[in-house]
Amino acid sequence: MDDTTRRVADLLQFMGQLLEIRGEDAFKIRAYYRAADQISRLAQPISGMSEADLLGIAGIGKHITRKIQEIIANGTFRELEEVRQGIPATLLELLNLEGVGPKTVSKLWQQMGIVTIEDLEKAARSHRLRALRGFGERKEQDILKSIEMYRQKGTRMNRLEADRIVARVASALKDAPFDTAGSYRRGVSTVGDIDITTTATAAVINPRLRAIADEIIDEGEKRTSFRCQGQRVDIRFTKPAEYGTMLLYLTGSKEFNIHLREIALSRGMKLNEYGIEERRGGVLRTFETEEAVFAFLGMTPVPPELRENRGEIERAFIHNLPPLIERADIQGDLHVHSDWSDGQMSLEELARRGEQAGYRYLLCSDHSATLGVAHGLSAERVKGQGKEIERINRTSSCTILTGIEVDIMADGNLGLPNTVLGDLDLVIASIHSGFKQERDVLTRRLLKAMENDHVDIIGHPTGRLLGERPPYDVDLGRVLDVAADTHTALEINASPYRLDLDDGPVRQARDRGIRLAIGTDAHDPAELTHMIYGVTIARRGWCGPADILNTRELRDLLGATT
């Protein structure tokens, strides 16, 4: 859709919301929503349509046509601006909260005088919201969760977004040598701001940054902070001689830095971002590389993903860090969707993409047909797909494994019968509905799925969508217990929107010898490249190749999971 058409649809929709917040006539509100909906479905740009064309669209009359013409001419329309004037801007921000629509906003405003997110938070915390009709304890809790999510979303970016910004900054830095640092370099699943250090000088770099900045926050000789594509970037200019300690410092984490400094100090060495001072002599020793710093301290270099003060410092001093998995260890992708369900790739394309990626196998795991899951497969279609896969595998060096992402339904039963699951190479079971069930009910759904012999992997075990949906309330301790007992693998879903399990639980699972499987959950070819995000999470969870199922050869994999 072109920009103008999108803007017309958005503003009409927005007008409907404003009227609803004001508590206006339902008929009038609906007229705006309906018009917005029709326009968002237009196959042609709205600016090229005549008045007669517009009037010919169902649900668009003279009144709305005039508004549309105003938007095309002026970018907005008078009535909207008037209505907007009468509503506090902070009130409109509430519409960004998950589960809060115009009707709710209207009630909160008119009946409780709530106009800001802070007002709403206070009302929910002090249990005043339940006085409203249709509000209870549950709804209060949901609202508090939504507020928390909204605040996080405003501040932290996902890995994909962070990668795009780093690429943009890299292109601006051109030939200047630089490294990323901070949470980005450590591979944390979400990134607050992007930290970069370079040996190039501020005089050279600052003008280049200005060219890509939405806004310069603070420009200087030692550091410059700016906003790029809406997110904060901190650049630190460093002398080549001090680069090693500066990169170490800026990479963090803070907890890692603090603990490492304490240990260094206990050995008579004062470590900071400029170098190491040995107390007695008092000279500052400098280091050009991180490796040189680690070597001087008597440590094995600690990979950035491990730098969280979770025991890695002690292990590095005794030269006993765990071996970490690498991207090249991955033999295949254990979660991919085809166009048999809601994916875009045909089975042929899956095989071809798998070959191009150098994979030995790909698990085709389409959704099962269950209520609420888009284009899921019936038992019959699963069979049909199996035949097709068999045919394709005859000529492909990358084997497509037959599988399914079977839905764990609200009652804990699976979306397909055991007879169907038993015929497949690998079965992923995932929750896609009933997220708000009680902790115990939800946990038991997962346990029951794991106890089914046909289930090999639990998909995206906590159900979180970063910045959008919190994890469902599940007792991970019990899930790990049963995963260990039943030899069910837990997924590291590599989608940058999920990263589920995250590093903390991955480490727990790994420490208990529970199997882990990395899957991209790709619905299109580009998403197959998200494997790297899953590998990074595995590394942060201290996993070596042996801890991850899809580092195995095909025969070994199938042997382990029957």
Position closest to ligand DGT via CB: 252
Give the β-pairing of 231-237 and 223-228: antiparallel
Q: How far is the CB of 519 from Ca ion (least distance, A)?
A: 28
Specify the residue, 140 or 195, whose C-beta has the smaller distance to ligand DGT: 195
Applying CB under 6 A, the site for ligand DGT has a residue count of: 14
Specify the residue, 430 or 551, whose C-beta has the smaller distance to Zn ion: 430
* Cα radius of gyration (the chain): 28
Contact partner at residue 430 from ligand DGT, Zn ion, Ca ion, none, CB < 5 to 8 Å by partner kind:
Zn ion
Using CA atoms, how far residue 507 sits from 70, 303, 501, 514, 516, in Å, is 58, 16, 10, 10, 10
Does residue 179 touch Ca ion according to CB under 5 A? no
Specify the residue, 195 or 242, whose C-beta has the smaller distance to Ca ion: 195
Q: Which two three-digit tokens encode residue 402? A: 């037959």
3-state secondary structure 417-433: CHHHHCCCCEEEEECCC
Q: How far is the CB of 210 from Ca ion (least distance, A)?
A: 19
Does residue 257 touch ligand DGT according to CB under 6 A? yes
- Interacting residue with Zn ion among 238, 430, 488, 561 (CB under 5 A): 430
Query: What residue spans of 46-177 are helical by DSSP H?
Result: 51-55, 62-74, 78-85, 89-93, 102-112, 117-125, 137-155, 159-173
- Burial of 444-466, coded b for 16+ CB within 10 Å and e otherwise, reads bbbbbbbebebbbbbbbbbbbbb
Alpha-carbon span 395 to 352, nearest angstrom: 10
Mark the segment that binds ligand DGT (CB under 6 A) among 115-123, 251-259, 338-346, 444-452: 251-259
Which phi and psi (to 5°) does residue 210 adopt?
-55, -35
Contact partner at residue 253 from ligand DGT, Zn ion, Ca ion, none, CB < 5 to 8 Å by partner kind:
ligand DGT
Mark the segment that binds Ca ion (CB under 5 A) among 104-112, 191-199, 253-261, 550-558: 191-199
| Helices and strands per DSSP (H, E), number in the chain | 24, 17
Which residues inside 140-199 make contact with ligand DGT, applying CB under 6 A? 182-183, 188, 191-193, 195
Q: How far is the CB of 150 from ligand DGT (least distance, A)?
A: 17
Q: How far is the CB of 273 from ligand DGT (least distance, A)?
A: 8
- DSSP SS3 for 87: coil
Applying CB under 5 A, the site for Ca ion has a residue count of: 5
Report which of 173, 234, 217, 219 is spatially closest to residue 199, judged by C-alpha positions: 173
Specify the residue, 188 or 299, whose C-beta has the smaller distance to ligand DGT: 188
Alpha-carbon span 302 to 294, nearest angstrom: 8
- DSSP SS3 for 257: helix
- Interacting residue with ligand DGT among 105, 149, 196, 250 (CB under 6 A): 250
Q: How far is the CB of 509 from Zn ion (least distance, A)?
A: 19
Specify the residue, 183 or 197, whose C-beta has the smaller distance to Ca ion: 183
Contact partner at residue 497 from ligand DGT, Ca ion, Zn ion, none, CB < 5 to 8 Å by partner kind:
none
Contact partner at residue 392 from Ca ion, Zn ion, ligand DGT, none, CB < 5 to 8 Å by partner kind:
none
Which residues inside 317-356 make contact with ligand DGT, applying CB under 6 A? none
Contact partner at residue 180 from Ca ion, Zn ion, ligand DGT, none, CB < 5 to 8 Å by partner kind:
none
Q: CB-hemisphere CA count at 13 Å for 345?
A: 24
Specify the residue, 5 or 183, whose C-beta has the smaller distance to Ca ion: 183
Alpha-carbon span 108 to 135, nearest angstrom: 11
Specify the residue, 109 or 150, whose C-beta has the smaller distance to ligand DGT: 150
Specify the residue, 193 or 521, whose C-beta has the smaller distance to Ca ion: 193
Specify the residue, 193 or 503, whose C-beta has the smaller distance to Ca ion: 193
Position closest to Ca ion via CB: 182
Contact partner at residue 250 from ligand DGT, Ca ion, Zn ion, none, CB < 5 to 8 Å by partner kind:
ligand DGT
Residue 58 exposed, middle or buried by CB count within 10 Å (0-12, 13-18, 19+): exposed
Specify the residue, 454 or 498, whose C-beta has the smaller distance to Zn ion: 498
- Interacting residue with ligand DGT among 170, 204, 216, 258 (CB under 6 A): 258
- Interacting residue with ligand DGT among 254, 279, 387, 439 (CB under 6 A): 254
Cis link prior to 341 (omega < 30° from 0)? no
Alpha-carbon span 411 to 434, nearest angstrom: 9
Specify the residue, 366 or 502, whose C-beta has the smaller distance to Ca ion: 502
Alpha-carbon span 196 to 366, nearest angstrom: 40
Q: How far is the CB of 528 from Ca ion (least distance, A)?
A: 28
Alpha-carbon span 163 to 253, nearest angstrom: 19
Alpha-carbon span 533 to 358, nearest angstrom: 18
Q: Which two three-digit tokens encode residue 423? A: 């015929």
Query: Which positions touch Ca ion (CB under 5 A)?
Result: 182-183, 193, 195, 234
Contact footprint for Zn ion (CB under 5 A): 430
Contact positions vs ligand DGT (CB under 6 A): 182-183, 188, 191-193, 195, 249-250, 252-254, 257-258
